[in-house]
A and B are shown apart, each in its own frame.
Chain A
Amino acid sequence: MGAQTLYDKLWNSHVVRQEADGTALIYIDRHLVHEVTSPQAFEGLKLSGRKMWRTSSILAVADHNVPTSGRAQGIADPVSRLQVETLDSNCAEFGVNEFKMSDVRQGVVHVIGAEQGATLPGMTVVCGDSHTSTHGAFGALAFGIGTSEVEHVMATQCLLIKKSRVMQVVVDGVLGKGVSAKDIALAVIGKIGTAGGTGYAIEFAGNAIRALSMEGRMTLCNMAIEAGARAGMVAADETTINYLKGRPFAPQGELWGKAVAYWNTLHSDDGAKFDQVLEIDAAGIRPQVTWGTSPEMVVTVDGCVPDPAAISDAVKREGAERALNYMGLVANTPITEINIDKVFIGSCTNGRIEDMRAAAEVARGKHVAANVQLAIVVPGSGLVKLQAEQEGLDKIFIAAGFEWRDPGCSMCLAMNDDRLSPGERCASTSNRNFEGRQGPGGRTHLVSPAMAAAAAVAGHFVDVSAI
């Protein structure tokens, strides 16, 4: 066999059988489950009388509907409560390992999976959630699936899919001050567009990626889906292995050594062929801010809101006009002159300890601006929260006027009570700026944690690299 890409290796080691047209049955190692996309799958299994294939491959948690304050009182909204209770009863009935809302290990599914060592290099990882791409940061093949597929995996431990094309995004050089993995992700999306990765899996490579922590790599792979790629990946290396050592679900003892030996092979071989290659100079990436209603509508913080009149493609121009109208923005406005009403720091994109640290560093000794009505920090898991408190980050946030909340998806998609009111403008570390995403009529600007904290303090966007 010739030189293989990381994707080839992951794919080839999981093919059970293949149809004539290339549709393959691939084996799934880890199945993450949350309350929103699983009830119909459990129900389907019950109605058909089918058994669950390998219950121990599943880790379940409620994250989308959970409150981030006053949790001891339970969930006030009866519809949300029923969905979480349905997950609890389904997990109990099928014997699935679930972290309940009161468990310190509870959190956003894509934060806890990695934190527990439940995502390992070489695995296939699926979840009924598009941001499953996050787990590719470990040199795993991880992607989001629909509820029918959740049921399919529960019943067969397999999925029917076709091989993707592979795009290599090479980021070489050193990132500038105040520039993070989030900015790399938004810069890539700005370059290739939200459909640029459709039909592809993206492997992020280059020395700027190697230099990223696991948290940074997860942020980057998390956003691969916003570039249209179902899966993002980073090869396993020392950083990956050091991160995993000693985690509860990671192999121990003799198995650890065997696993590490295998994991060290999980990288693209020299000379491996990619279907597309994109090269980016790390030093040229500036802090990013989205201005519209799609993650590809993004500029650098020192830029301006674009003028739709300058866009030649009619569909794109109308899209930009509609976005500016929805966002309440005027063409050519400097990004740093946009005032904000709310700030959200958290989510499966930026709810990890490193994100908390980056935001706290900017907020330290400062105060949230008078025009900012609410600035919330929502750790990605109970364990992230605990660690942040041990490091005193909660005190920094609270002293600066931020609210320090309990873990969950929160205002990333506003399925719980954390949401924007119509017309409100938010600096958000989440992943989607779609219309209504953070609440009906809400206006989202996607930024990094440091940029969000800096905007909270200034009351408008500022260039964090200049602070």
Chain B
Amino acid sequence: MHKFSLLDGLVVPLDRANVDTDALIPKQFLKSIKRSGFGPNLFDEWRYLDHGEPGMDNSKRPLNLDFVLNKPRYQGGQILLARENFGCGSSREHAPWALEDYGFRVIIATSFADIFFNNCFKNGLLPIRLDAEKLDALFKSVEANVGYKLKIDLEQQTISAPDGTVYKFEVEAFRKHCLLNGLDDIGLTLQHVGKIKAFETKHHAEQPWLFA
């Protein structure tokens, strides 16, 4: 997994609530057995005017120029601003894979759906929850300023705006530690093999039908 510590990135505003994982990456792309290459199909139905299918040459498809990702000023965006309940719907990890493959590293929203939020941390993406009021201010700033960037510091848990405003954000200590160091969860868990085996033995004795 990628490490994440500091980012000074261009901000892209996606001003709608309840952005679901079907919108993030439509189902036809879930047929892939790989975990890379989803970036060109991120927000496929909003981003292109035609219907996308796996295997198409996305560079030749007609773009929906009204969609925020297609506006010249937002090319190269690394920070996505969104609203309430971002990433709701299915558990598909293809959603964070697509965001990451596109180039996003941080998503700032009022709230996130639980499974999506969790999946982000497994892929070096940092989801940040921010109050609606603060988000409103950021939406206004990004609309008003071409090339608007934010500095994200995970160690300090801060978002710094060009006008000098600093927003603090919360992140669970364990997730922060894993993200800062690019740690692999499975490797960490396997350091506790003894504890897992001991638990399993006790569990088996208490509920033998689970192991029949």
Q: Which A residues form the contact surface with B (CB < 8 A)? A: 13, 16-17, 19-23, 25, 27, 29, 36-37, 39-40, 43, 48, 50, 53-54, 56, 64-65, 77, 79-80, 82-83, 86, 120, 122-123, 128-130, 132, 143-149, 151-152, 155-158, 160-162, 194-195, 198-199, 228, 230, 251, 255-256, 258-259, 262, 294, 315-316, 318-319, 322, 413-415, 432, 434-437, 440
Q: How far is the CB of B9 from chain A (nearest CB, A)?
A: 24
Please determine whether A440 and B212 come into contact, CB atoms closer than 8 angstroms: no
Known: A40-B33, A198-B112, A437-B22. 16 other contacts (CB 8 A): A22-B172, A27-B196, A29-B210, A36-B30, A39-B33, A79-B32, A79-B55, A80-B31, A83-B32, A145-B91, A147-B93, A148-B119, A148-B122, A195-B111, A199-B114, A435-B45
Asked whether any CB of chain A lies closer than 8 Å to the CB of B27, the reply is yes
**A27-B22 contact, Cβ under 8 Å, with A128-B91, A195-B84:** no
Report B45-61 CB contacts with A as 1/0, cut-off 8 Å: 10000010011000000
Asked whether any CB of chain A lies closer than 8 Å to the CB of B17, the reply is yes
A255 to B113, CA, bound (A): 39
Chain B contributes a number of interface residues (CB within 8 A of A) equal to: 60
A316 to B196, CA, bound (A): 46
A17 to B212, CA, bound (A): 25
A53 to B22, CA, bound (A): 32
Of the listed residues B20, B27, B199, the one surrounded by the most CB atoms of chain A closer than 10 A to its CB is: B27
Please determine whether A198 and B85 come into contact, CB atoms closer than 8 angstroms: yes
Partner of B114, one of A151, A152, A228: A228
Please determine whether B111 and A198 come into contact, CB atoms closer than 8 angstroms: yes
Q: What are the residues of chain B within 8 A of A54 when measuring CB–CB?
A: 200
Q: Which 7 A-B pairs have the closest CB atoms?
A: A251-B209, A148-B122, A39-B33, A146-B119, A146-B93, A195-B85, A144-B91
Q: How far is the CB of A60 from chain B (nearest CB, A)?
A: 15
Q: What are the residues of chain A within 8 A of B123 when measuring CB–CB?
A: 148
Please determine whether A315 and B17 come into contact, CB atoms closer than 8 angstroms: yes
Q: What are the residues of chain B within 8 A of A145 when measuring CB–CB?
A: 91, 115, 118
Please determine whether A152 and B34 come into contact, CB atoms closer than 8 angstroms: no
Please determine whether B18 and A319 come into contact, CB atoms closer than 8 angstroms: yes
Asked whether any CB of chain A lies closer than 8 Å to the CB of B3, the reply is no
Please determine whether A435 and B174 come into contact, CB atoms closer than 8 angstroms: no
Query: In chain B, residues 63-119, which have Cβ atoms closer than 8 Å to a Cβ of chain A?
Result: 83-85, 88-93, 96, 111-115, 118-119
A148 to B16, CA, bound (A): 28
Please determine whether A158 and B196 come into contact, CB atoms closer than 8 angstroms: yes
Please determine whether B31 and A156 come into contact, CB atoms closer than 8 angstroms: no
Q: What are the residues of chain A within 8 A of B156 when measuring CB–CB?
A: none
Q: Sample 7 A-B pairs with CB under 8 A, ordered by A number.
A: A27-B199, A37-B91, A40-B93, A161-B118, A228-B114, A259-B209, A294-B88
Please determine whether B174 and A23 come into contact, CB atoms closer than 8 angstroms: yes
Q: What are the residues of chain A within 8 A of B54 when measuring CB–CB?
A: 79
Asked whether any CB of chain A lies closer than 8 Å to the CB of B140, the reply is no
Q: What are the residues of chain B within 8 A of A160 when measuring CB–CB?
A: 174, 185, 188-189
Q: What are the residues of chain A within 8 A of B209 when measuring CB–CB?
A: 120, 251, 255-256, 258-259
Q: How far is the CB of B96 from chain A (nearest CB, A)?
A: 8
A368 to B173, CA, bound (A): 57
Partner of B185, one of A53, A77, A148, A157: A148
Asked whether any CB of chain A lies closer than 8 Å to the CB of B168, the reply is no
Please determine whether B186 and A152 come into contact, CB atoms closer than 8 angstroms: yes
Q: How far is the CB of B62 from chain A (nearest CB, A)?
A: 14
Report B13-26 CB contacts with A as 1/0, cut-off 8 Å: 00111101011001
Please determine whether B207 and A122 come into contact, CB atoms closer than 8 angstroms: yes
Q: How far is the CB of B138 from chain A (nearest CB, A)?
A: 14
Please determine whether A21 and B174 come into contact, CB atoms closer than 8 angstroms: yes
**A130-B89 contact, Cβ under 8 Å, with A23-B172, A25-B192, A156-B189:** yes
Please determine whether A16 and B83 come into contact, CB atoms closer than 8 angstroms: no
Partner of B88, one of A56, A194, A255: A194
Asked whether any CB of chain A lies closer than 8 Å to the CB of B137, the reply is no
Please determine whether B16 and A318 come into contact, CB atoms closer than 8 angstroms: yes
Please determine whether A65 and B18 come into contact, CB atoms closer than 8 angstroms: no
Nearest CB in chain B to that of A413: its residue:
B27
Please determine whether B212 and A198 come into contact, CB atoms closer than 8 angstroms: no
Asked whether any CB of chain A lies closer than 8 Å to the CB of B203, the reply is yes
Please determine whether B212 and A255 come into contact, CB atoms closer than 8 angstroms: yes
A356 to B196, CA, bound (A): 43
Please determine whether B186 and A40 come into contact, CB atoms closer than 8 angstroms: no
Q: How far is the CB of B44 from chain A (nearest CB, A)?
A: 9
Q: What are the residues of chain B within 8 A of A17 when measuring CB–CB?
A: 192, 195
**A157-B173 contact, Cβ under 8 Å, with A258-B208, A259-B209:** no
Asked whether any CB of chain A lies closer than 8 Å to the CB of B145, the reply is no
Please determine whether A16 and B31 come into contact, CB atoms closer than 8 angstroms: no
A1 to B87, CA, bound (A): 37
Please determine whether B122 and A149 come into contact, CB atoms closer than 8 angstroms: yes
Nearest CB in chain B to that of A200: its residue:
B114
Q: How far is the CB of B140 from chain A (nearest CB, A)?
A: 13
A155 to B191, CA, bound (A): 12
Of the listed residues B88, B92, B114, the one surrounded by the most CB atoms of chain A closer than 10 A to its CB is: B114
Of the listed residues A27, A148, A157, A161, the one surrounded by the most CB atoms of chain B closer than 10 A to its CB is: A148
**A435-B23 contact, Cβ under 8 Å, with A50-B186, A251-B209:** yes
Asked whether any CB of chain A lies closer than 8 Å to the CB of B165, the reply is no
Please determine whether A151 and B186 come into contact, CB atoms closer than 8 angstroms: yes
Please determine whether A27 and B89 come into contact, CB atoms closer than 8 angstroms: no
Asked whether any CB of chain A lies closer than 8 Å to the CB of B144, the reply is no
Please determine whether A48 and B115 come into contact, CB atoms closer than 8 angstroms: no
Q: What are the residues of chain B within 8 A of A83 when measuring CB–CB?
A: 31-33
